[in-house]
Structure formats: structure tokens, C-alpha cells
Amino acid sequence: MFTIEILGKTYNSAAVFGQLLIGLINGSFYAMLSLGVAVIFGMLRIANFAHGAQYMLGAFVAWALLNLPELFPGSGLPSIGYWPSLILAPVIVGVVGMATERIFIRRVYDLDHAYGFLLTIGLAMMVEGLLHVRFGSAGLPYGTPKEFQGTFNLGFMFLPYYRAWVIVASIIICFGTWLLIERTRLGAYLRAATENPELVQAFGIDVPRMLMLTYALGVALAGLAGVMAAPIYQVSPQMGQNLIIIVFAVVVIGGMGSILGSIVSGFLLGLIEGLTKVVYPPGSTTVIFVFMALILLARPQGLMGRT
Amino acid sequence: MSGKPSSTPAWLASPRARELAYLVGLAAAGALLPLVVYPTLAMKILYFGLFACAYNLLFGYLGLLAFGHAAFFGLASYVCAHLVTVVGLTPELGILAGTAAAAALGAVIGWLAIKRTGLYFAMITLALAQVVYFYLVQAPWSMGEDGIQTGPRGKLFGVISLADNTSMYVVTLVIFLAGFAIVNRAVNSPFGEVLTAIRDNEPRAVSLGYDTRRFKLLAFTLSAAISGLAGATKAIVLQLANLGDVHFSMSGEVLLAVLIGGIGTALGPIVGAAVLMTMFDALAKTGAWVQAIQGALFVGFVLLLRSGVVGTLSGLFARKTR
């Protein structure tokens, strides 16, 4: 083992790399979540504060699928494990998102932005409150899938297989979504619909339906992140509450509506947070917000935002 | 955001007369309030009503959706409780110090936040308020999860004991009326006219030669200071400052109070605060239901009753008398 010097102080390299790795894992979740917020904001101009609740919903659906026999005794329903949940839960959460857009979100498109924000705050509180009533606030356990039980020995720390998988999967998900929106025909329609909805509609494209599907896509991404989080963090109604505030800060840093910006700043801020845990532990809870303030002073449109 | 009611009796036509009428009416209502609800709830309605009025100054009249006012309310609560407990300041000095701290914090956060508008503004205020929250979670003087218990309420000016609820109530009512008068004066002054002009069309206000950044910063600082006045009063009334005061859900609650009452109305925030505090009190035992109901209120008022209770009523009244 060797030592590393940061700002004139020396640190054990194992501690530094360990925290950076944890930062990378947290950053994977920041990136996946801020990506969804950026997609929704970019296309719908809605600041989706319900994103944290939708992430929590993904984890809850995965937990419920696993515990179907206990939740509905006598119904003969099977227990559905991690791998099917990875597809099923985001689909279920996405469908809920579609209904949410139809029933609620659609009504505030033409109003001041403030109302979309307030509406999604209300929706998040309702969902979190109701699940709290039903399941309590204590975390529900969700086991690591058996394929991922075990650890890599990296020399400076043990990395559980599952966490390595989270890092890899989130990079694939982020890159895939970026490709979908920036490099495909569907994505081109979406971007065009944001620029000039009337014109796109005139070309015979159903813009309201596209907005609904975009919202569903963003929400499904949150649900997917929730399933991936279930084995790492405890499944509880509040699990998305503090996270959503960090995610909003990440989106502001990346440049609101910039998809690549949200991905890059998600991973970057996870790493910065990890590094802060080594250098100045009490600052680790606030470093992202302070960083956001600094970015706004130097570059108000965000790292990759356009004005 | 609703406009002013279009028809009022002639004697209420001038803003000055209306301000005075509001004050007299609120003083009378304040005197009667303890007959309807128990003293602690009455005091909660007053300090939270003041907090909502301060928030409304920013959201209702300047049109800026701030989402971090818990920082001002909470910091003032902590500063007041700390100085009263550890330094032994009298309650009024504690409240003044808390208010000053909130004003200073408001000047700093406001200076940063007004660089952007709209949703960016909301997120910046939210993020900076989280910094204050986590600072108070960790700072040694704020006593972590326990919060600061101030013990006895002490003596106002070192003379009048606030131990009994009647004198405490009178003091709270006076603070509330003073704070309300300040906010209302600001809103109805030329300064307030410029604020609404910025809300409705900022580029135009700039082209008329107004330094809109200065107006925004001033309004933000004033709003933060009055929020602090409410928070510091809370610390004296409940003899406690805790993390609930700075938590972001407090920022949501004050927003909800203004939304329920009527954004940009003079009396709406007070009505909203009364509704919300009474509801919290009635539902205190049901735990998690409170959060779900609060969420439903947000959704319901945004979709169905955007002008709030007072805005809708005054709209109906104006139509009837036309």
C-alpha cells in the first residue's frame, strides 16, 4: 500500500480508492436518476419532483413481486425474483407514470412552471405517505441475487459483485438512453416536439402521446434505478426523499435538460462526494450543494447546458 | 397568481385605509382566537401565519418560487434558542438576534439564487437550504437530533414573565401584527409596485430603468428576515428549536399554506396557515396520514383551486357586487 497526497495532507491509498469506489456506486444512481429528470424536463418542461417517489416505487414493486406469496396468501401467486423484476418493475412503474401523466401532469403543461413542480411534490407526498401508512417506515430487506453473492478482492478493498454490476449496468443504461434520444429517429421526433410542437403535430405525429411516452420513459428509468437499489439500500417509503434533492442539484450542475450533462455530472459528483469523505468527512453531505453554488457563479447555464 | 379584487367599498379604496382595516380586523380576530382554539394552537397559527405572509411576499408578489424558506425559519429558531439558553439573553433580544441571522443568511442565499429564475431558482434555494440543514445536523451547538430545549420562557425585557400562556399569546399576537404590517406596507408601497412589475414582465421593468436585481435581493432579504422573526418566535413559544424547523418539508408546508389561502393575497397566507395548523393538530395522532393528506391538498389546490380559498372568495365577491 502507498499513500496519496491531497491538499498537502497524506492519506492511505486504500481509504481513498475505497471511498472513490463508493462514490462511483452512488454516482451511478445519481446519473440514472438525474438522467430521467433531465429527459422529462427537456421534453415536458416539468420539474418532476416525484422522481424520488417513483424510484422508491420501483424498489417497492420489486420487493412486492418477491413477496407475492406472503402478500396474497392462498392466491397461489409465485415469488418473482430479481431478474424478471428488472424488466417487470420498470414496466409497472412506467405504466403508473403513463396514467399519472394522463390524469394529472397533462393539466399543468399550459400553466406557470411552478404549478408542475407543486403538483409533483404533492404526488410524491401522497405516494410516500400512503406506503408509509401501509408498510411503516422501517426498511424492508431485499436480498442480493444469488448470482452476485461474492466479492472481488481489489487489494485496497473488497468489491461485492453486485455493486460492480450496478456500476456497469448504469453506464449501459445511461449510454443507451443517450443514444435513443440523440441518435435515433424517435429521439429526433422527441427533440423536435420540444422545439416546436405545432409543426411536429402538423407532420402527423401525435405529440400528446409522445409526451406521455416520454414521461413514462423517464419514470421507468427511475423505477429501474429503484430495483437496482433494492439490494443495496433498504426498501422504505422515504428512500427517495433526500435523494431527489441531490438529483435536482446534479441536474442543475449538468445544465437542466442536458442529457449528457446529467450523466457526466451524476458520476462526477458521486466521485467528488466520495473524495470529500476522505478529505473532510463532515462536508460530504453538503459538498454537492456547495459545488452547485460554485458552478452557478462561474457558469450559470450548468456544465453542459445551453442558454 | 391572482390580481387584486376589483371592487371594494369606497372607504377601503386607498391602500393605506385597507392596510389599517386589515390590521384592526386581524387584531380583533387575534383577540378572539384563543376562545376558539387552545392557546398553543392559537400561537402556532400566528407564527406560522406570519411565516406564510413572509413567503408570500416572494412567491405571490415577486413571482419567485423559493423552496428553501425552512433555512431562514429554522436558523432563526436555533439562534434564538441558543442565545436564550446558553448566553441568557432575554426573549426579545433572542428573537431580534434570530431575525438578524435569518436576514444575513437571506442576503447571501438571495444574492446567489436571484442569478436565475423559474425552476432553477427553486432548486438553488432548495439546495442551499439543505446546506443549512446539514450544517445544523452536525454543528456541536445545535445539539443534533435532540434540538435545543430552552427551558422556561424567561422574562420579556427582563420584567414580564412569559411563563403563562396569556402573556405569551399577547406577545405573539403583537409580533404577528407588526410583521404583517411590515409585509403589507412593503407590498402596497412603490417598492411593492415594482415587485409586481418584475413579476409580470421583468425585461420591461429593466427597460423602465429599475435595477431589478436590487429589488429582488431586497425583497428576498426582507422575506427571509420576517421568516426568521416567525421562526425565532416559534422557539420562544414552544421552548424548542429542532431539526423539523429546518427540514425541507417545512419549506413545503409554508408553500402549501400560501397555496391553500391564495397566492398573492394579503390574508390568504393566514387562512392557509390556520387551516394547515388546525389540520396538523387534529391529525397529530394519525402519523403518516398527515403526509398523504398534505400531498392530496397540494394536488387538489393546483388542479382545482389555484387561486386558493381567499382568492376564490374575493373573486366571487367581486363578481357579485359588479
Query: Which residues touch A103 (CB under 8 Å, ≥6 apart)?
Result: none
Q: Domain count of chain B?
A: 1
pLDDT at B2: 45
pLDDT at B287: 74
Q: Which residue has the higher pLDDT, B239 or B317?
A: B239
Chain A residue closest in CA terms to B65: A114
Instruction: Tell whether the model's pLDDT for residue B3 goes beyond 50.
Output: no
C-alpha radius of gyration, chain A, whole number: 20
Q: The cell 456506486 sits on which residue? A: A25
Residues on chain B touching A117 (C-beta within 8 angstroms):
65, 67, 119, 122
- Quick check: B137 and A114 CB within 8 A? no
Q: What confidence tier does B1 reach under pLDDT thresholds 50, 70, 90?
A: very low
Instruction: Tell whether the model's pLDDT for residue A103 goes beyond 70.
Output: yes
pLDDT at A172: 96
Q: Is residue B27 part of a domain?
A: yes
- Dihedral of alpha carbons A193, A57, A234, A286, sign: positive
- For residue A226, give the C-alpha cell: 429503484
pLDDT at A1: 57
- Quick check: B292 and A125 CB within 8 A? yes
Q: What totals of helices (H) and strands (E) does chain A contain, helices first?
A: 12, 4
pLDDT, mean of residues B209-215: 91
A3-298, CATH topology level = ABC transporter involved in vitamin B12 uptake, BtuC (1.10.3470)
Cα A50 to Cα A240: distance, rounded to the nearest angstrom? 9
Q: Is residue B7 part of a domain?
A: no
pLDDT at B317: 79
Do A286 and B135 touch, CB atoms closer than 8 A?
Answer: yes
Residues on chain A touching B137 (C-beta within 8 angstroms):
285
Interface of B with A in 3-22 (CB under 8 A): none
pLDDT, mean of residues B45-63: 95
Judged by average pLDDT, the poorest of A2-11, A146-155, B259-268 is A2-11
If one counts every other C-beta atom within 10 angstroms of the C-beta of residue B207, the result is 9
- Quick check: A245 and B137 CB within 8 A? no
Cα A102 to Cα A119: distance, rounded to the nearest angstrom? 13
pLDDT, mean of residues A66-78: 86
Q: What confidence tier does A106 reach under pLDDT thresholds 50, 70, 90?
A: very high
- Quick check: B124 and A114 CB within 8 A? no
CB pairs under 8 A between A and B: 122
Instruction: Tell whether the model's pLDDT for residue B9 goes beyond 80.
Output: no
Instruction: Tell whether the model's pLDDT for residue B5 goes beyond 80.
Output: no
Min Cα distance B121 → chain A (Å) is 10
pLDDT at B247: 93
Indicate the length of chain A as a whole number.
Answer: 307
Name the phi and psi angles at A171, rounded to 5: -65, -45
pLDDT at B8: 57
What is the rounded end-to-end Cα distance, in angstroms, of chain A?
47
Cα B179 to Cα B48: distance, rounded to the nearest angstrom? 12
Q: What confidence tier does A190 reach under pLDDT thresholds 50, 70, 90?
A: confident
Q: Is B290 on the interface with A (CB under 8 A)?
A: yes
Q: What confidence tier does A306 reach under pLDDT thresholds 50, 70, 90?
A: low
Min Cα distance A225 → chain B (Å) is 22
Chain A residue closest in CA terms to B126: A245
What is the rounded end-to-end Cα distance, in angstroms, of chain B?
21
pLDDT at B306: 87
* B156: helix, strand or coil: strand
Chain A residue closest in CA terms to B290: A129
Q: The cell 471511498 sits on which residue? A: A19
Q: Is B124 on the interface with A (CB under 8 A)?
A: yes
Q: Which residue has the higher pLDDT, A127 or A7?
A: A127
Q: Is residue B298 part of a domain?
A: no
- Quick check: A245 and B127 CB within 8 A? yes
Percent with pLDDT over 70 in chain A: 99
- Quick check: A249 and B127 CB within 8 A? yes
Interface pTM, i.e. ipTM: 0.87
pLDDT, mean of residues A171-177: 94
Min Cα distance B200 → chain A (Å) is 12
Average per-residue pLDDT in chain B?
89
pLDDT at B12: 65
Instruction: Tell whether the model's pLDDT for residue A48 goes beyond 90.
Output: yes
Q: Which residue has the higher pLDDT, B28 or A305?
A: B28
pLDDT at B48: 97
pLDDT, mean of residues A29-49: 91
pLDDT tens by residue, B150-172:
878 878 887 788 888 888 999 99
Nearest by CB to A129, from B131, B289, B302: name it: B289
Nearest of B290, B116, B264 to residue B200 by alpha carbon: B264
pLDDT tens by residue, B231-251:
999 999 999 999 999 999 999
Q: Which residue has the higher pLDDT, A204 or B215?
A: B215
Q: What confidence tier does B11 reach under pLDDT thresholds 50, 70, 90?
A: low
Q: Is residue B162 part of a domain?
A: yes
- Quick check: B123 and A47 CB within 8 A? yes
Tell me how far the alpha carbon of residue B54 is from its chain's centroid: 4
- Dihedral of alpha carbons B117, B119, B125, B128, sign: negative
Query: Which residues touch B63 (CB under 8 Å, ≥6 apart)?
Result: B1, B198, B199, B200
Domain boundaries, chain A: 3-298
Min Cα distance A113 → chain B (Å) is 7
Please give the residue range of the domain that contains residue B87: 16-247
pLDDT tens by residue, A211-239:
999 999 999 999 999 999 999 988 999 99
pLDDT, mean of residues A25-39: 94
Instruction: Tell whether the model's pLDDT for residue A169 goes beyond 70.
Output: yes
Q: Is B139 on the interface with A (CB under 8 A)?
A: no
Q: Is A135 on the interface with B (CB under 8 A)?
A: no
DSSP structure class, residue B288: T
Q: Is residue B190 part of a domain?
A: yes
Name the phi and psi angles at A3, rounded to 5: -115, 160
Q: Which residue has the higher pLDDT, A59 or B288?
A: A59
